[in-house]
Amino acid sequence: MNALVHRYRPLGIVLLLALLLIAPTAGLLNGYWSRTVMLIAILSLLVSGLNVVLGYAGELAMGQVALYAVGAYVAGYLGVELGMTNVLFSLLGATLAAVVVGLITGIPGLRLGGWSLAMVTFFLVTLVPNLVDVFSGFTGGTLGMGTAVPTLFGMEIVGDRLYWLIILVVAAWFAVARNLLLSRHGNMFLVLRQSPILASVLGVSVYRLKLLVYVVGAIPAALAGALFSMLDGFIAPDTFTFALALSVLAASVVGGATSVYGAIAGAAVMQLGQQTFTQFQTWQLVIYGAFLLIAGIAFNRGLAGLAQDGLAAVRRRGWLPTPAPVTVAAAEPAGEVETRLEPLHGVTLRTEGLGKSFGGNRALDDVTIEARPGEVTALIGPNGSGKTTMLNLICGLYKPSAGRLLLGEEEIGGHPTYRIARHGVARTFQTPLIPAHMTTLAFVATGRYVSHRVGILPAILRLPAFRKGYATDDARAMALLRLVGIADVAHQQVDSLALGTRRLVEVARCLASGARVFLFDEVGSGLDESDLEVLERAIGMIREAGGTVILVEHNFPLVLKLSDRIHVLSQGRLLASGTPAQIQNDRRVLAEYTGATDGGDAADAFDSVADLQAADGPATPKGAK
Ligand SMILES: Nc1ncnc2c1ncn2[C@@H]1O[C@H](COP(=O)(O)OP(=O)(O)OP(=O)(O)O)[C@@H](O)[C@H]1O
């Protein structure tokens, strides 16, 4: 049954589209309803563009309406002034204009960060009437401009033909959006929205990806404008109001900003509401505000989220079959567990006199250490001694205040995080960074996004390169989940997992990237005994495969068992370095951890910490979080 549903779903969509296309000709839609369907379709393009930017990249871009105006005026100008009435020119012209305006507004808006894009795009919308006035020679000013009759190879595109054109363009856009958002790119957009830090640690330039998403989201808005100019035959600035911008935002939230097809539902609600209730015009701002509040508070995944929850409830009751997860054969949970990794080509990481100050606080001061390939180098020390600061410096989240950071022979100190990640440095976080709306398998596969990238075009067109890349990513991610002993959660939502499991997921994600240097930040904390065994085995394999591991850990037995060399930090300075045996017997280290000043036996102190751990879970040094 599942296989049947899966197999015939595309056919069902094609039949639905065919039905929609023949509806006016077959007398199923009169003139009023055909126009309503066309208006919903055009509005859904605008909403879909906002969904891409807001729902996926997390950027509030209010400028959809301005891009709508750009598309309309470009198509109008091409037809009236240049005689280019062919709809293909109109649509192409609108697309190019969207890219140009998207870049012009997106570059400063995104460079400045924070709320800048929202502000820039907000002003863009308020600027539309002024710009139309200033360029009245091209736009007809406030009086507006009549547009030429659209054509396609000499054939006039009016009546049913215009209806078909609009439905086909909108269907084509939604196919593109669906394929893009349900690809690894869409997953990375979700990561970007929820954690730009995670995106950069995965090797993604946050600025460039946001710009890409913003420009992609601009395209449907401009297409909508071009189609609207053909439908109305007249363009005037009072169409492109701030109220329309709010209505697009409300439709996005009502439909569900992270859903591909929620845009259609949101657009339908807004358009039908406007047409059905005569008072809508008067109360529209209040209504949009109410929609935003209700949708934001009561059902923040919009109508699409409600539909998904309803479907899930129906499936739980067994009234509908549960769809099998989309997997490839190699990505099934059962299978051989890897006992060794492919060579990891580790590289030496060296710090020389590294320092980091936050105002007057010297978090790290003159630290020189070396982590070699095929070895586990542990960084230990009490809370606030600078361990995480060290990892943040290595992976580029912080810029050093002093000293050098060398990866092999290359100085990487101060490089942007995504560049350092591309050099093969992967890390986990003390509080795992885990996105929502993604399966564990898909999340682990994001580790391969940069190193095994499949382009956007193959993803949109579902070319063989995309299918092959996707299948390989899934198979690799599943093999790594097996390796860290959590293949059974592969198809679960990754944000539903327990803390210990999340830590193992992060290890698998690091391995997926093919990294050479692994920065593990308290990766053992919160793990039960069997998870710890798996973790030990995984770290052992990374070492054997030649990877460079830096382990920040409060769990001493684990540190002593795994490390080849231990560096002890105290108040930002290097207190001691040595083998586990040397550190265990170092009296300065003992004093640091126990506050003892009588020079007792350090090994005993560590043993008692280990005993404590056996009784209470992972042990932490004095004052640990
Ligand atoms: N972004 C920051 N801004 C200001 N101070 C910071 C920042 N990050 C770290 N610090 C300070 O740097 C010092 C070292 O902190 P860090 O988090 O590196 O310690 P740690 O050894 O990792 O501690 P823990 O074991 O609790 O994680 C602390 O005094 C901390 O307050």
- Give, using CA atoms, the residue closest to atom 4 of ligand 1: 358
Provide the sign of the torsion angle of the four alpha carbons 563, 564, 568, 574, taken in this order.
negative
- Give, using CA atoms, the residue closest to atom 30 of ligand 1: 384
Residue 5's pLDDT band, with cuts at 50, 70 and 90, is: low
Residue 568's pLDDT band, with cuts at 50, 70 and 90, is: very high
SS3 call for 243: helix
What's the 389 CA to ligand 1 centre distance in angstroms? 6
Distance between first and last Cα of the chain: 51
Q: Which helix (H) or strand (E) holds 358?
A: strand 349-358
pLDDT at 623: 34
361 CB within 6 A, ligand 1: yes
Q: Using alpha carbons only, what angle is made at residue 91 by residues 85 and 95, rounded to the nearest 5 degrees?
A: 140
What lies within 8 Å, CB to CB, of 158 at 6+ separation is 149, 150
Residues 344 and 542: beta-carbon distance below 8 Å: yes
How large is the angle between the packed helices 64-80 and 116-134, nearest 10 degrees?
30
pLDDT, tens digit, 9 for 90 and up, residues 397-431: 999 999 999 999 999 998 999 999 999 999 999 99
- Give, using CA atoms, the residue closest to atom 11 of ligand 1: 363
389 CB within 6 A, ligand 1: yes
pLDDT at 299: 65
Burial call 297-322: b when 16+ CB within 10 Å, e when fewer: eebebbbbbebeeeeeeeeeeeeeee
Both tokens of 44, joined, read 């859904």
381 CB within 6 A, ligand 1: yes
pLDDT at 475: 92
Which atom of ligand 1 is nearest the CA belonging to 625?
26
Q: Which residues face 576 on adjacent strands?
A: 568
Q: Which helix (H) or strand (E) holds 410?
A: strand 410-411
Which atom of ligand 1 is nearest the CA belonging to 392?
18
3-state secondary structure 287-312: HHHHHHHHHHHHCCCHHHHHHHHHHH
Both tokens of 173, joined, read 């856009």
pLDDT at 328: 43
SS3 call for 225: helix
Count the alpha carbons within 13 Å of 354 in the hemisphere toward its beta carbon: 31
Alpha-carbon distance of 228 to 346, in angstroms, equals: 57
187 CB within 6 A, ligand 1: no
Residues 84 and 96: beta-carbon distance below 8 Å: no
Residues 287 and 244: beta-carbon distance below 8 Å: no
What is the average per-residue pLDDT within 67-77? 94
Provide the sign of the torsion angle of the four alpha carbons 152, 153, 156, 161, taken in this order.
negative
388 CB within 6 A, ligand 1: yes
144 CB within 6 A, ligand 1: no
Both tokens of 515, joined, read 């990294």
pLDDT at 365: 93
Mean pLDDT, rounded, of the chain: 85
Residues 550 and 519: beta-carbon distance below 8 Å: yes
Residue 534's pLDDT band, with cuts at 50, 70 and 90, is: confident
Give, for ligand 1, the residue of 362, 387, 427, 429 to mutate: max count of ligand atoms closer than 8 Å to Cβ.
Answer: 387
Residue 38's pLDDT band, with cuts at 50, 70 and 90, is: very high
322 CB within 6 A, ligand 1: no
How many residues comprise the chain? 625
257-261, 308-312, 480-484, 581-585: least confident range: 308-312
- Give, using CA atoms, the residue closest to atom 25 of ligand 1: 383
How far are the Cα atoms of 258, 351, 383, 435 from residue 197, in angstroms, in the given order?
20, 23, 23, 12
pLDDT at 336: 61
Both tokens of 624, joined, read 């640990």
313-322, 413-422, 577-586: least confident range: 313-322
Q: Which helix (H) or strand (E) holds 585?
A: none
Residue 218's pLDDT band, with cuts at 50, 70 and 90, is: very high
What is the average per-residue pLDDT within 435-452? 90
Residues 594 and 605: beta-carbon distance below 8 Å: yes
Residues 349 and 369: beta-carbon distance below 8 Å: no
Alpha-carbon distance of 46 to 177, in angstroms, equals: 12
Q: Using alpha carbons only, what angle is made at residue 323 by residues 305 and 187, rounded to the nearest 5 degrees?
A: 55
Q: Is the pLDDT of residue 344 over 60?
A: yes
Count the alpha carbons within 13 Å of 390 in the hemisphere toward its beta carbon: 38
Q: In this structure, are strands 517-521 and 548-552 parallel, antiparallel, or unpaired?
A: parallel
- Give, using CA atoms, the residue closest to atom 1 of ligand 1: 358
pLDDT at 125: 82
Count the alpha carbons within 13 Å of 357 in the hemisphere toward its beta carbon: 8
Maximum mean pLDDT: which of 107-116, 161-170, 280-289: 161-170
What's the 383 CA to ligand 1 centre distance in angstroms? 8
DSSP state for residue 337 in the 8-state scheme:
P
- Give, using CA atoms, the residue closest to atom 7 of ligand 1: 358
385 CB within 6 A, ligand 1: yes
525 CB within 6 A, ligand 1: no
Residue 507's pLDDT band, with cuts at 50, 70 and 90, is: very high
Alpha-carbon distance of 265 to 250, in angstroms, equals: 11
Counting beta carbons within 10 angstroms of the beta carbon of residue 272, is it exposed (0 to 12), middle (13 to 18) or buried (19 or more)? middle
SS3 call for 375: strand
Both tokens of 159, joined, read 């009546």
Which atom of ligand 1 is nearest the CA belonging to 385?
21
Residues 484 and 508: beta-carbon distance below 8 Å: yes
Top-confidence residue, 55 or 201: 201
What's the 377 CA to ligand 1 centre distance in angstroms? 20
What is the average per-residue pLDDT within 248-262? 83
383 CB within 6 A, ligand 1: yes
pLDDT, tens digit, 9 for 90 and up, residues 129-151: 888 888 888 888 888 899 999 99
DSSP result, 431-448 = S----SS-BHHHHHHHTT
pLDDT at 350: 96
- Give, using CA atoms, the residue closest to atom 2 of ligand 1: 358
What's the 526 CA to ligand 1 centre distance in angstroms? 21
What is the average per-residue pLDDT within 533-558? 91
What is the average per-residue pLDDT within 248-275? 85
Alpha-carbon distance of 464 to 421, in angstroms, equals: 28
555 CB within 6 A, ligand 1: no
pLDDT at 273: 81
- Give, using CA atoms, the residue closest to atom 8 of ligand 1: 389
Give, for ligand 1, the residue of 389, 395, 398 to mutate: max count of ligand atoms closer than 8 Å to Cβ.
Answer: 389
What's the 448 CA to ligand 1 centre distance in angstroms? 30
355 CB within 6 A, ligand 1: no
Cβ atoms within 10 Å of 411's Cβ, excluding its own = 11
Give, for ligand 1, the residue of 351, 356, 358, 521 to mutate: max count of ligand atoms closer than 8 Å to Cβ.
Answer: 358
Tell which phi-psi region holds residue 317, choosing left (phi > 0), alpha (psi between -120 and 50) or beta.
alpha
Share of the chain above pLDDT 70, in %: 87
399 CB within 6 A, ligand 1: no
What's the 499 CA to ligand 1 centre distance in angstroms? 22
Which atom of ligand 1 is nearest the CA belonging to 384?
19
What is the average per-residue pLDDT within 497-515? 92
What's the 483 CA to ligand 1 centre distance in angstroms? 32
